[in-house]
């Protein structure tokens, strides 16, 4: 691939659980990204890169996806006050990428079909799907405190959450898929990824202003949009379809499947088979069994085993002595 691209998709491979998920995501990226204008990169912490499993490395290499170190992760949990795994996406987002549009994807996703990410972003600066549910730190008083940290009043805009009672709330988005512009019309860097990280760090530093550090990335996102006077664009649900919450999607309803828990993926046969078929096509006849053996503790094998016969390859006969 060329050194520059219109769109660069990035995700994090940090630990065996995420490696297992990446082995399902990556083949679908290979199948559905347009190599003429889209590419992907996997980020890994400096203190984990030497632990990447050979199978993961093979899947990435065969897909033409490079492995890139997350900057500054040789410093332990810094710049966070304590270990914060979700912060790896923000550190990766802040990295410089030679593209016009970046797309962060949670590793627990698979593509169901090609996606024109640049078209989905349109003229916006940032785009994401509205969250399915509220989280700690999203009540009205908390939002008022969050926005005040940035010298901002509460925005007038409201969104409707997609799950549960479908509450109407201040803008709140799922950070499992975030599209953002890297360069403006003049080709100058927007710095959005860096600004997202800085906004999250400010929220964390505020301490009791954030009820649960888990969601700092999602709390920071809409605030950043208003801070740069470019509110986050709402993506359609099909761009981040939560099969854990909403069950199997009709064929037309999910461009990107977000399963959250790998055991949930195995419960949805169409999506499971598609992901396994792409992996099978990528790394050969024994690929699914190798995957199952390599990541046994992390893939809910008992739920997955129903698919193994479909991709099984008989062992070659040994010649008689």
Element (H, E) at 7: strand 5-12
> Does 306 reside within a domain?
yes
Pairing of strands 5-12, 38-45: parallel
> Does 316 reside within a domain?
no
The pLDDT assigned to 321 comes to 37
> Does 84 reside within a domain?
yes
The pLDDT assigned to 180 comes to 98
For the entire predicted model, the pTM comes to: 0.93
The pLDDT assigned to 252 comes to 65
Token look-up 């199952």 returns: 292
Count of domains for the chain: 1
For residue 287, the tally of other CB atoms under 10 A from its CB is 22
> Does 52 reside within a domain?
yes
The pLDDT assigned to 208 comes to 55
> Does 15 reside within a domain?
yes
* Range of the structural domain that residue 150 is part of: 5-311
CB contact at 8 A, 204 and 81: yes
What are the angstrom distances between the C-alpha of 127 and each of 41, 85, 298? 20, 22, 31
> Does 321 reside within a domain?
no
Q: Give the total residue count for the chain.
A: 321
First to last CA, the chain: 49
The pLDDT assigned to 302 comes to 87
Nearest residue to 162 via CA among 148, 145, 176, 152 = 176
> Does 320 reside within a domain?
no
Cis peptide, bond prior to residue 79, ω within 30 of zero: yes
Token look-up 């860097």 returns: 189
Any idea of the CA torsion for 164, 224, 107, 15, to the nearest 10 degrees? -110
Low-confidence ranges of the chain (pLDDT < 70): 1-4, 208-212, 249-252, 313-321
> Does 118 reside within a domain?
yes
The pLDDT assigned to 34 comes to 96
* Coil vs helix vs strand at 8: strand
Tens of pLDDT, residues 299-313: 998 899 899 888 876
CATH code of the domain covering residue 85: 3.90.550.10
């Amino acid at each position: 691939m060329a050194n520059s691209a219109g769109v660069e998709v990035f995700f994090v491979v940090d630990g065996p659980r995420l490696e297992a998920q990446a082995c399902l995501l990556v083949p679908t990226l290979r199948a559905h990204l347009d190599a003429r204008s889209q590419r992907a990169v996997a980020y890994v912490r400096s203190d984990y890169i030497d632990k990447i499993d050979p199978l993961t490395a093979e899947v990435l290499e065969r897909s033409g996806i490079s492995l890139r170190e997350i900057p500054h992760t040789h410093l332990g949990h810094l710049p966070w006050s304590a270990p914060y795994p979700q912060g790896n996406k923000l550190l990766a987002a802040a990295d410089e990428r030679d593209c016009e549009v970046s797309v962060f994807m949670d590793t627990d996703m698979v593509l169901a079909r090609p996606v024109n990410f640049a078209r989905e972003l349109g003229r916006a600066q940032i785009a994401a799907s509205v969250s399915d549910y509220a989280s700690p730190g999203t009540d009205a008083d908390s939002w008022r405190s969050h926005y005040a940290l940035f010298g901002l009043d509460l925005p007038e805009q409201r969104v409707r959450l997609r799950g549960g009672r479908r509450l109407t709330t201040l803008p709140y988005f799922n950070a499992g898929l975030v599209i953002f512009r890297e360069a403006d019309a003049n080709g100058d860097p927007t710095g959005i990824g860096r600004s997202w990280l800085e906004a999250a760090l400010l929220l964390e530093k505020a301490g009791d202003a954030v009820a649960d550090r888990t969601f700092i990335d999602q709390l920071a996102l809409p605030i950043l949009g208003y801070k740069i006077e470019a509110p986050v664009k709402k993506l359609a649900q099909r761009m981040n379809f939560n099969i854990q919450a909403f069950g199997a999607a009709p064929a037309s309803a999910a461009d990107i499947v977000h399963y959250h828990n790998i055991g949930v993926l195995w419960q949805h046969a169409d999506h499971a088979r598609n992901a396994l078929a792409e992996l099978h096509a990528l790394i050969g006849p024994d690929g699914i069994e190798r995957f199952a053996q390599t990541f046994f503790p992390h893939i809910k094998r008992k739920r997955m085993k129903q698919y193994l016969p479909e991709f099984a390859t008989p062992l070659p006969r040994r010649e008689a002595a």
